[in-house]
Structure 1
Amino acid sequence: MEFYAEEGKKLDEACSTLVLPALSVGNVGQLAVDLLISSLRAERIGYFDDPNVLPCVGNNAYAPSPPGDLSLPLEAFDSSSNRLTLVQQRSPVVKGMMVEFAKNLANVAARNGKKHVIVLSSLDFKQWQNIDMSSGLQIYYLSSSSTDGTDEDCEKHGWKRLPEYNPAHKRWEYLSSTIEENIVQDDDLLFEDLKEEDYYPSLPFAALFSCFKAKGLKVTCLLCYCSEGDNIPDAFQLAEAASKILIQSPNDFEGTGSGRWIVPFSWKSVYGPPPDTSLF
């Protein structure tokens, strides 16, 4: 993986916290990172090039100008006042290469002074075993702070550790050993003959969690269950959770009044134009 900085910019080691999405159901992690980048007025500092990420290009995601400012598959943004680097991923990883991609990203993060990594992702609602909607949508977490994945700071926010996480499970163990021993392994072989209980370690967030942990970095995964559809409310929920551990002051957000979030410009066309009312 190579990093290409924009003119006069670089990866700032003072930005010791890294935030990034793990692609999953509804692209909730990506949408949440969009919200954070837009609302913090984070500055794009460059982009990554990795052979395991599919190429794509699009219009500027955060503003209609300047014209010709394109968005690329894997971009880095800095919020220097909050000591944050945010990475946005806009295209999927090549099939079977998620672990190799996660290894590359972990190597870059470790080389550039990152200490804490926040991974934002979603989980398939169909896999939710213990449904309790009494308190609304719930945030789950997984942390490298302890062997069993718990973290006191996350518990203080009322979040629950992902109950299905079991570091002794054969798939989690196999994933960890493959990474720690630097074995080049196709994901399809790593997770062949998957059973229902293998769902979680087969997801992108699990590969990222294991790779960053193997590099000695603190990793916190923030997760929410959802279904495919309009996932914007889920993105707000996940971004709000991330802000509780990332942002020191609400004034760091550029939104005004009760609406502290700035909706990215690209969201205006997420679902296309409104329906033609003459049809009704």
Structure 2
Amino acid sequence: MSKIGYFYTDCLVPMAGNNPYATTEDNSGELSTNAEVYSLPSKKLVALQLRSVFIKRKSRPFCEQLLAWVRSSGCAGVVVLASSHSHQRSDPQLRSTPFRYLLTPSMQKNVQNKIKSLNWQEMEKSPCMPEMDDSGLCVRIPGGGITKALYDESCAKEIPMAVLLKFVSEGDNIPDAVGLVEHVNEWLEMIEPRGADPTVPTSPWRVPSSWRLLFGSGLPPALF
């Protein structure tokens, strides 16, 4: 995907760095910011990549800004990729797939049949206040950041949105990222799925060059 711009907002902590998707020495020095926009015209796909945390009390204004941009841009639909704390799963969730989805009412009209054919599992409702026995049921996404707020706002504003998430734990989340994008690909069919071509033994996904730095460099030989 080609970078086509950035999403300007005062809701995220400012950030600047080198190109996280560098492929050569020539483009490694390109500047990256806290919220950038990429596009793939052949698939009519636009992606917003967030790389910074929210300033205190600024997450809800960001949701409003983002959804206003989505509406003014005429997007056919929005797919939010997110995660949720695996240690807060219920017993039924522990015994099933780690993937879940949510659809706003306006998105259900278009994709409900396709989603059902994939046998995906919808995010279960749980007590709104787990510490209270008589608490009502609602959708909760512990550790999901702004995901729930985005979903609720999209429901209220009739914006077609799908939330796809995976229960994850702290640590090396590279396998979780690859698993989530393969899950999305079952629906959107962005690329040929893994194993579809027997002559291609490796994963079809290209790993960002910046992932080499997730855990820093190796141990210094001087230690030994």
Q: Normalising to structure 2: TM-score of the pair?
A: 0.80
* 1:110 corresponding residue in structure 2: 71
* 2:152 corresponding residue in structure 1: 210
Asked if 1:162 corresponds to 2:123, the answer is yes
User: What root-mean-square deviation, in Å, do the aligned CA atoms of Structure 1 and Structure 2 show?
Assistant: 3.2
Retained in 1: the 8 A contact 2:106–2:159?
no
Deviations 1:116-161 (A, max 9, x none): 10001000112100356666x521000013799x933223223210
Asked if 1:222 corresponds to 2:183, the answer is no
RCO (CA 8 Å, sep 6+): is it higher in 1 or 2?
1
Distance 1:108 1:213 in 2: 16
Retained in 2: the 8 A contact 1:82–1:247?
no
Asked if 1:233 corresponds to 2:175, the answer is yes
Distance 1:89 1:119 in 2: 12
Structure 2 runs not aligned, ≥5 long: 130-136, 194-198
Question: What does residue range 122-271 of structure 1 map to in structure 2 within 5 Å?
Answer: 122-131=83-92, 137-145=97-105, 151-164=112-125, 199-200=140-141, 203-250=145-192, 257=200, 258-271=202-215
Kindly tell me: are residues 134 and 210 of structure 1, through their superposed partners in 2, closer, same or farther at Cα, counting changes over 3 Å? closer
Retained in 1: the 8 A contact 2:107–2:162?
no
* 1:86 corresponding residue in structure 2: 47
Q: Alpha-carbon deviation of 1:237?
A: 0.8
- Over the matched positions of the two proteins, sequence identity in percent amounts to 30
Distance 1:159 1:140 in 2: 7
Asked if 1:72 corresponds to 2:14, the answer is no
Q: Alpha-carbon deviation of 1:245?
A: 2.1
Retained in 2: the 8 A contact 1:114–1:217?
no
Give the paired residue count: 208
Q: Normalising to structure 1: TM-score of the pair?
A: 0.65
Q: Alpha-carbon deviation of 1:248?
A: 4.9
Structure 1 runs not aligned, ≥5 long: 1-41, 171-195
